[in-house]
Copies of this chain bind each other. A is one copy, B any other.
Amino acid sequence: MNHQTPPPEPIRELAHLGHHGLYTPDLDGSLWYFVDLLGMDIVEREGSTVYLRAYGDYERWTLRLSQREKPGLEYVSWRMWSPQALDRRVEWLEKHGLGGSWVTQEYGKGPAYQFEDPDGHVFRLYYETENYVAPEGKKPVIPVNVQAYAGRGANVHHCDHVNLLAQDVRACREFWEEAFGLRSYEIIRRADGSEVGAWMSSSLQGHELIYTQDNTSGNGRLHHFAYVVPTREEVLRASDIFADARIYIEAGPSKHTAIQGFYCYTREPGGNRIEVANGGYFVFAPDAEPYVWNLEEWSQKPGWGAPIPPQFHLYGTPVVDPEKELVR
């Protein structure tokens, strides 16, 4: 059979979001939030840095939480599909003058190549990792599972996606598409061609990496990390837990128009915005085009969903414009 000049085949070298680093000015408060309210476990602790995992993570640890003066993102990482994929992407970055450097990683993770996206967020690529082995008392009854189901607090399963603020959303999106073959599933575009938001994924999941417009002058800022639970009911249940724990619920529980996930947004005691999330569609078509919203269409917010408060589009960590961002 003949195909007339088919398009070049996609790059597919990122396997999934890996482990992330987060800064907090209130380590004890943040640990209470991640451990008692979200239900995560502490794996290692070294001075004022704590390594955590969710019960669904196959890797030994996936969150590195460090005490620092201000909250915000330390790094986001991707696990690669193969050692070869790791080498190829590093080569690509260096060839295009976008390279960084190799860093060593802790507690069972192999070397990572660290670099920055166009907005200055730190990213890491790695392949080698140590799988979690549950100790006695946490062994699951079904051996395929990683860890026994604990049922503590919101009991989040794993980190599902990351949303970063950027001055130039389009530049960030194009970087990831070109360098790593991330697929964009939804884009909000202004009449001048600049973009307000982009939802990207390395797989059929509707979102893994999101960029939205930073409406302050900051760079390299975090909008939120999203931890996933298996049902919308559990997002509602998490909201009950947060409300009674007097954790500020900034938005939701409700449903997003983009990707259509069900959400509840809180700020952990260190100030970082965290989403408890469920759902969002899957994209099966290998040739799916991103849906591009214009601002008018987007502003009509079709479908249902609670109003989003203005500070949702302003606040990020670290805060750079307290007068605008800290209003509630």
A240 to B304, CA, bound (A): 7
Tell me if B279 and A230 are in contact (CB < 8 A).
Answer: yes
A169 to B257, CA, bound (A): 38
**Shortest distance in angstroms between A310's beta carbon and chain B's nearest beta carbon?**
12
Tell me if B102 and A1 are in contact (CB < 8 A).
Answer: yes
Q: Which of A130-175 contact B (CB under 8 A)?
A: 131, 140-144, 148-155, 158
A107 to B152, CA, bound (A): 30
- Whether A10 touches B81, Cβ cut-off 8 Å, given contacts A141-B246, A149-B241, A304-B242, is yes
Q: Interface residue tally of chain A, by bracket? A: 35 or more
A272 at the interface (CB under 8 A from B): no
A234-254 near B? 1/0 per residue, CB < 8 Å: 101101111111100100111
A25 at the interface (CB under 8 A from B): no
Chain A positions near chain B (C-beta within 8 angstroms): 1, 3, 6-7, 9-10, 12, 15-16, 58, 79-87, 90, 102, 111, 113, 127, 131, 140-144, 148-155, 158, 186, 203-205, 230-234, 236-237, 239-246, 249, 252-255, 257, 260, 262, 264, 279, 281, 284-286, 288, 291, 297, 302-304, 306-307
Q: Give me the 7 closest cross-chain CB pairs, A-B, nearest first.
A: A306-B306, A148-B244, A3-B83, A15-B286, A6-B83, A16-B284, A149-B240
